[in-house]
Structure 1
């Protein structure tokens, strides 16, 4: 039995949308095809990481002797995404022979200026999965037309600099605009009531099936890692996302013996701090708190101060790792204590697993 899609409070399904990364990939496919053939495919179809093949209508076309430009209006579905309705533009130009695919930030796309993010400083804020998606679509089209595929891809989002002020980008040191994001290409609609409702229904199904072990994960990477670790069935996977509280409070009244919570270091740091809502708009990583944990672990004053002044949780984790301090284990234990307190008396035993961005286990607290 597959998990049901999220629903509106009225019971209708929430419409999913497409990430900026998916839009940028589709625009790149259209522009590169036009550069090679003189014709823009409209609509343009791409393949997403999970196998979906959506088609995108073009909102903008432009073609010159050595460049082509295409734009797509982002549809975020029923998600209240600040970039819903934004124009995502890809302009492709010939690169030097043998240079492969290179990326540039056009107007409205930010530049990374501080360490600790998936993209290093000095690079456009185009995340790894969208880069891979665009590189793969270029390779496919190049092979179809016998081209070398040496391209400079410039992504721009008009008014992206203004939209970025409504995000955490400035605080993260991403300056000048938005990030091009997405790990699946699909925007899952954000609705607190509907999402928490779907978590509750997942618990009900797991109990009805007599499952003794379920998992709630913050995202697809941690979920895949937990599945690989335990071989859990689809019915054992609860769409926790940011709603740790919605999961734990329902489990307290409707217990299942074993719960694994899996997630990235930043999200689980928030749980360790005592937050039950892990969304970036409603809770923040406290770098002073991380500094205190390092001090407790015996870190020297210089390292503690570096942690307090860090830009991202990942940066603190990297600093701790370089010093031989297992900070993720410490965070996992604190997160476990937060979670276990919520379900106290229910008989639910909780394990915390902390994963890196590649799905590697970096910290754990075994509550069994």
Structure 2
């Protein structure tokens, strides 16, 4: 049963599967090299936060150790809330290697940030785990040559409730997260927070606000325009909730920025960009851009890899047209399409 957060109180954040896998890796490696498991483990997230995790599982044998963390998604109705994320560590033949254990999938289609055939462990969680391995190795005077096997018991069954099968991730879940933090997904509460952000910006006399789909696009747009923190609206997937409020409470200028997938959905008329409620129409994208070869793409990222920046410019332009229709004449609008590394691929104004 989906947990229903109490909207009369502040929603509690949680931790991503990537953060849990990182904590489990650190605990298991500490046991392997120190001979004993810690009771709890602290890690550093990409934005500098240092959460502490209690161990929910531990085991070891000759040349290996494993630890498990129970995922706490906070007040987010996340399908993986309560799942046990296990990391087993052992020596590798060189460097840090990743293996998909029980319940973690493999990538079988192009267009995802991890190559075909690889364990479905995304780049940021990989970087987090590598950083902890390297730090522990340096502290012990050892080489960071470690194989990390990440498992989520029951993950294959949970993955059937996600978009993973359609995206070509087979056999289980993905290890996800760009910040390590799960933001509570309550439509009403999130949209209300966007409205409050607009109210604050107007009260402060801010003439230029920005709505972005995630942490990477937010950082890029804020840096591009030199905007203050209170000009940044935590839009997420709710572009409709943002622009409808701006139509009634206008500001002089709005920038909307995001990755190619969500910006393509906006360009095609979607105002809720969540993967469960809108999808890219690749046949329509191929027709509007004039490139038949992208009609069969698996993801917008794959289409971008085939067509490059001209496709991003096309998406930015069509997204701009949608926003102009929605926002109204009192607000000047521009759009920015950003890749996963935070580089600008397309703009329209």
Q: Note the C-alpha offset of 1:165.
A: 0.5
Partner of residue 65, structure 1? 62
- 1:173 matched to 2:168? The reply is yes
* Separation in 2, partners of 1:87, 1:9: 27
Task: Give the secondary structure class of the aligned counterpart of 1:24.
Answer: helix
Task: Give the secondary structure class of the aligned counterpart of 1:108.
Answer: coil
Q: Quick check: 1:217–1:223 contact (8 Å CA) kept in 2?
A: yes
Partner of residue 299, structure 2? 312
For residue 315 of structure 2, the aligned residue among 319, 331, 350 is: 331
Q: 241-250 vs 142-151, which deviates more? A: 142-151
Question: How do 1:292-303 and structure 2 match up within 5 A?
Answer: 292-295=287-290, 299=291
Partner of residue 211, structure 2? 216
* Separation in 1, partners of 2:246, 2:305: 34
CA deviation vs aligned residue, 1:2-52 (integer Å, no higher than 9, x gap): xxxxx9532x11000000000000000000000001111111111111111
Q: Which runs of 4+ in 1 moved over 3 A?
A: none
Partner of residue 4, structure 1? none
* Count of residue pairs brought into register by the alignment: 345
Partner of residue 345, structure 2? 362
Q: Note the C-alpha offset of 1:65.
A: 1.8
Q: Quick check: 1:27–1:89 contact (8 Å CA) kept in 2?
A: yes
- 1:344 matched to 2:328? The reply is yes
For residue 54 of structure 1, the aligned residue among 37, 51, 55 is: 51
Q: Note the C-alpha offset of 1:249.
A: 0.3
- 1:37 matched to 2:34? The reply is yes
Task: Give the secondary structure class of the aligned counterpart of 1:109.
Answer: coil
CA deviation vs aligned residue, 1:223-249 (integer Å, no higher than 9, x gap): 100111111001100010000001000
CA deviation vs aligned residue, 1:299-352 (integer Å, no higher than 9, x gap): 4xxxx1x3111111011111112xxx711111111111111111224x011100
- Structure 2: gaps spanning 5 or more residues: none
CA deviation vs aligned residue, 1:181-206 (integer Å, no higher than 9, x gap): 00110100000000000000000000
Task: Give the secondary structure class of the aligned counterpart of 1:326.
Answer: helix
* Separation in 1, partners of 2:106, 2:324: 40
Q: Quick check: 2:289–2:314 contact (8 Å CA) kept in 1?
A: no
Partner of residue 278, structure 1? 273
- 1:79 matched to 2:79? The reply is no
Q: Quick check: 1:215–1:237 contact (8 Å CA) kept in 2?
A: yes
- Structure 1: gaps spanning 5 or more residues: 1-6
Q: Quick check: 1:8–1:191 contact (8 Å CA) kept in 2?
A: no
Question: How do 1:1-368 and structure 2 match up within 5 A?
Answer: 8-10=6-8, 12-96=9-93, 99-295=94-290, 299=291, 304=292, 306-321=293-308, 326-345=310-329, 347-366=330-349
* Separation in 2, partners of 1:328, 1:149: 39
Question: TM-score, normalised to structure 2's length?
Answer: 0.97
Question: TM-score, normalised to structure 1's length?
Answer: 0.92
